[in-house]
Amino acid sequence: MYADRIKHLPPYLFAAIDKAKAEARAKGVDVIDLSVGDPDLPTPPHIVEALNRAAKNPQNHQYPSYEGKLSFRTAVADWYREIFGVKLLPETEVLTLIGSKEGIAHAPLAFLNPGDLALVPDPAYPVYRTSVSFAGGTSHIMPLLRENRFLPDLSAIDPAVARRAKLMFLDYPNNPTGASADREFFKELVDFAREYDILVLHDNPYSEVYYDGQRSVSILEIEGARDVAVEFHSVSKTYNMTGWRLGAVVGNPEIVAGIGKIKSNIDSGTFGAVQDAGIAALQSPPSVVQDIRRIYQKRIDMLYPSLVDLGMVLEKPRATLYLWAYVGASSIDYAKRLLDQTGIVATPGVGFGQYGEGYIRFSITQPTERIKAAVERLQKMRT
Ligand X SMILES: *Cc1c(COP(=O)(O)O)cnc(C)c1O
Binding site for ligand X (CB under 6 A): 37, 99-101, 125, 171, 175, 203, 205, 234, 236-237, 242, 247
Nearer to ligand X, 98 or 165 (CB): 98
What angle, 0 to 180 degrees and rounded to 10, lies between the N-to-C axes of helices 331-342 and 368-382? Answer: 100
Q: How far is the CB of 91 from ligand X (least distance, A)?
A: 22
d(CA 27, CA 348): 22
Shortest approach of ligand X to residue 271 CB, angstroms? 15
- Of the pair 73, 101, the CB lying nearest ligand X is at 101
What distance in Å separates the CA atoms of residue 143 and residue 180, rounded to the nearest whole number?
A: 15
Cα–Cα distance for residue pair 283/296, rounded to 1 Å: 21
Quote the least distance from Cβ 136 to ligand X, whole Å. Answer: 22
What minimum distance in Å lies between the beta carbon of 189 and ligand X? 17
* Shortest distance in whole angstroms from residue 377 CB to ligand X: 26
Angle value at C-alpha 35, between 270 and 99, nearest 5 degrees: 10
CB of 87 to ligand X, least distance (A): 23
Q: Which is nearer to ligand X, 242 or 252 (CB)?
A: 242
Q: Cα(118)–Cα(128) distance, rounded to whole angstroms?
A: 9
C-alpha Rg value of the chain to the nearest Å: 21
Residue 151: how many CB atoms within 10 A of its CB? 22
DSSP 174: P
Closer residue to ligand X (CB): 247 or 317: 247
Amino acid symbol at 11: P
Query: Closer to ligand X at the Cβ: 105 or 335?
Result: 105
Return the number of the residue (21 or 101) whose C-beta is nearest ligand X.
101
Residue closer to ligand X by CB (options 97, 378) is 97
Measured from the CB of residue 333, what is the shortest distance to ligand X in angstroms? Answer: 25
Q: Compute the least distance from the CB of residue 320 to ligand X, in Å.
A: 8
Cα 39 from Cα 16, distance rounded (Å): 23
Residue 96 or 234 with smaller CB distance to ligand X: 234
Q: Give the type of residue at 277.
A: A
Look at the alpha carbons of 231, 235, 241, 244 in this order and tell me if their dihedral is positive or negative: negative
Output b/e per residue, 271-301; b: 16+ Cβ within 10 A: bbbbbbbbbbbbebeeebbeebbeebbebbe
Write the DSSP symbol of residue 324: E
CA 40 from chain center: how many Å?
16
